[in-house]
Amino acid sequence: MNIKKFTQFISENEHYSSINEGDIVPGVPYNSGGSGAAGSISVGVTTDSTEIIIVRQSSASEDKPGIKLYLAFLPSKKPYEIKQSAVNAYAYVRKDKIYPGDNTQEYIAAVTKMADFDATKSSFDLSRGADSIDLIAEFITSAGIASDATACTKLAKVIATLIASTTYNTKVTDTFLKFANNIIMNVKNNGFVVRMDDDFITVKQSKGMQAFRTELVKSYDALSKAKTADATKK
């Protein structure tokens, strides 16, 4: 039997990025597709996309469709064409309804210009002109976790880990890094709620949004300090 070294397998397999590398944070599978249970969060990273997926409703029930929310970030050199609205998106929030034999997809927020990641305010139409803050606000709201402090805490840990951990921050897309840096900056400067679109007025100060802001900075600072400490030891 010819047993290959792991490094040899990696070099020969162009789909290596789909290998399950365990949980990115406890309870959040990385590159595995997730469990599919309602409320579960998973992360997928390939050379073409960085995705965070939340299952709002499990597809196990026969009388209700499965519902998944995707927060996706495409490389700046290769945006995704949303044919329904005839735009190229650098990032988007998509809602998938999974029916037996019939699936539907709805793109409910999209960043269609690189400059919009750092825009002060979104355009009137989030499906074409979302900024970073309203992109995450739409994702949290549509996923049904705005009042769920536990889920939003986990989501914040995921974003902080993807941007601050050296294990992951070299694998994610450049658009995700631009998004995450903007969110962290605004949370630290108290701009997250102020700049959020009025469409989210009922959830701006919800338990989930508050937990998200608190944990995002906490996790990011902890990971950044750990990285700095490791560099000092060398």
Q: Are 111 and 135 in contact, with CB atoms under 8 Å apart? A: yes
Contact assessment for residue 88 and residue 118, using Cβ atoms and an 8 Å cutoff? no
Q: How confident is the model at residue 81 (pLDDT cuts 50, 70, 90)?
A: very high
User: Nearest to residue 91, comparing CAs of 100, 77, 80, 101?
Assistant: 80
Q: Looking up tokens 């949980």, which residue turns up?
A: 23
pLDDT reading at 35 higher than 70: no
Does some domain include residue 37? Answer: yes
- The whole domain housing 60 covers 21-227
Angstrom distance (rounded) from CA 35 to CA 13: 25
Residue 11 lies in a domain: no
Answer whether residue 222 is part of any domain.
yes
In a domain, 160, yes or no: yes
Residue 172 resides in a domain: yes
Tell whether 182 is covered by a domain.
Answer: yes
Alpha carbons 195 and 233: distance in angstroms, whole number: 40
Average pLDDT over residues 51-70: 87
Average pLDDT score, the chain: 88
Determine, yes or no, domain membership for 12.
no
Q: Is residue 13 part of a domain?
A: no
Q: Classify the C-alpha dihedral 204-215-117-108 as positive or negative.
A: negative
Specify the pTM: 0.87
Q: Is residue 29 over pLDDT 50?
A: yes
Count how many domains the chain has.
1
pLDDT one-digit tens code per residue, 99-135:
877 789 999 999 999 999 999 988 879 999 999 999 9
Instruction: Please give the single-letter amino acid code of residue 106.
Output: E
Q: How confident is the model at residue 147 (pLDDT cuts 50, 70, 90)?
A: very high
**Per-residue pLDDT, 227:** 64
d(CA 162, CA 15): 20
What pLDDT band is residue 63 in, cutting at 50, 70 and 90? confident
